[in-house]
Structure 1
Amino acid sequence: METNILEKQMRRWPLYGGGLALLQAGLLAGCDRTPEIPAPPPAANTISPVAATPAPRGPERVILAFGDSLYAGYGLDRGQSLPDALQDRLRKDGINATIVNAGVSGDTSAAGRQRFAFALDNMKRRPDLILLGLGGNDVLRQISPDETRANMTAMMDEAKRRGIPVMLTGMMAPPNLGPEYSRQFNSIWTDLAKSYDATLYPFILDGVIGNAGLMQADRVHPNRTGVDRIAARVAPVLESALGQPR
Structure 2
Amino acid sequence: MKIPAALALAVATILAASPTVPAHAAPEPAGPLKVMPLGDSITYGSGSADSRIGNRTGAPTASGYRIDLQKRLGAAGLNVDFVGSQQAGPKGADRDHEGHPGWRIDQIAANVDTWLATYQPDVILLHLGTNDMAQNKSVDPTATRLSTLIDQIRAGRPDADIFVQQLVQGHIEPYKSRIAAYNKRIPGIVAGKDDKVHLVDQSSIGGLSEFDQLHPNDDGYAKMAYNLYRAMTKVYGDAGWPAGRNPYAGTATTLCFRINKTVAGRPDWHSECSRWTLRAGRWQRPGTATQTYLLHIKARVVTAKARKVVVKDRYLKRTRVVTTWLSDDPYLTNAGK
Q: If the TM-score is normalised by the length of the shorter chain, which range does it land in? A: 0.5 to 0.7
Name which of 105, 109, 128 aligns with 1:113: 109
User: In the alignment, which residue of structure 2 is the partner of 1:85?
Assistant: 68
Shift of 1:63: 1.0
Q: Is the 8 A contact 1:67 1:102 kept in 2?
A: yes
Which structure shows the higher strand fraction?
Answer: 2
**How many matched pairs?**
182
Question: For the residues of structure 1 that align with 2:192 and 2:77, how far apart are their CA atoms?
Answer: 31
RMSD: 3.0
Q: CA deviation at 1:241?
A: 3.3
Gaps of 5+ in 1: 1-56
Per-residue CA deviations over 1:108-152 (Å, capped at 9, x if unaligned) read 1111111211221221xx221111110111111110123212321
Instruction: Pick which of 192-201 and 156-165 moved more.
Output: 156-165
Return the letter of the residue paired with 2:153. Answer: A
CA contact (8 A) 2:125 2:165 kept: yes
State whether structure 2 residue 249 is matched by structure 1 residue 233. no
Q: Compare the two structures and name the one with the higher helix fraction.
A: 1
Map 1:154-233 → 2, pairs under 5 A: 154-161=148-155, 162-163=157-158, 164-171=160-167, 176=173, 185-197=182-194, 198-202=197-201, 204-206=202-204, 208-211=205-208, 214-216=209-211, 218-233=212-227
Task: Provide the residue aligned with 1:75 in structure 2.
Answer: 47
Structure of greater Rg: 2
Please, which runs of 5 or more residues in structure 2 have no aligned partner? 1-28, 49-59, 84-96, 239-337
Q: Is the 8 A contact 1:139 1:173 kept in 2?
A: no
Distance in 2 between the 1:219 and 1:68 partners?
15
Cα distance between partner residues in 2 of 1:224 and 1:184:
25
Residue 233 of structure 1: how far off its partner (Å): 2.6
The answer (yes or no) to whether the contact 1:131–1:169 under 8 Å persists in 2 is yes
Secondary structure at 1:122's aligned position in 2? helix
**Counterpart code for 1:166:** I
Residue 154 of structure 1 and its aligned partner are, at CA, apart by: 2.0
| Residue among 145, 152, 159 paired with 2:146 | 152
Which is further off, 226-235 or 108-117? 226-235
Mapped to 1, the partners of 2:175 and 2:98 lie a distance apart of 32
Matched AA of 1:223:
N
Give the Cα–Cα distance (whole angstroms) in 1 for the partners of residues 44 and 191 of structure 2.
27
TM-score, scaled relative to structure 2: 0.48
- The answer to whether the 8 Å contact 2:46/2:62 transfers is no
Percent of pairs with identical residues: 22
Amino acid across the alignment from 2:81: T
> 2 CA distance for matches of 1:183 and 1:226?
17
The more displaced of 155-164 and 66-75 is 155-164
Structure 1 length normalisation: TM-score?
0.64
SS at match of 1:196: coil
Deviations along 1:216-239, whole A, 9 cap, x unmatched? 2x2421222331232123211123
Structure 1 residues 60 and 172, CA gap change in structure 2 (3 angstroms): closer
Deviation at 1:173, TM superposition (A): 7.1
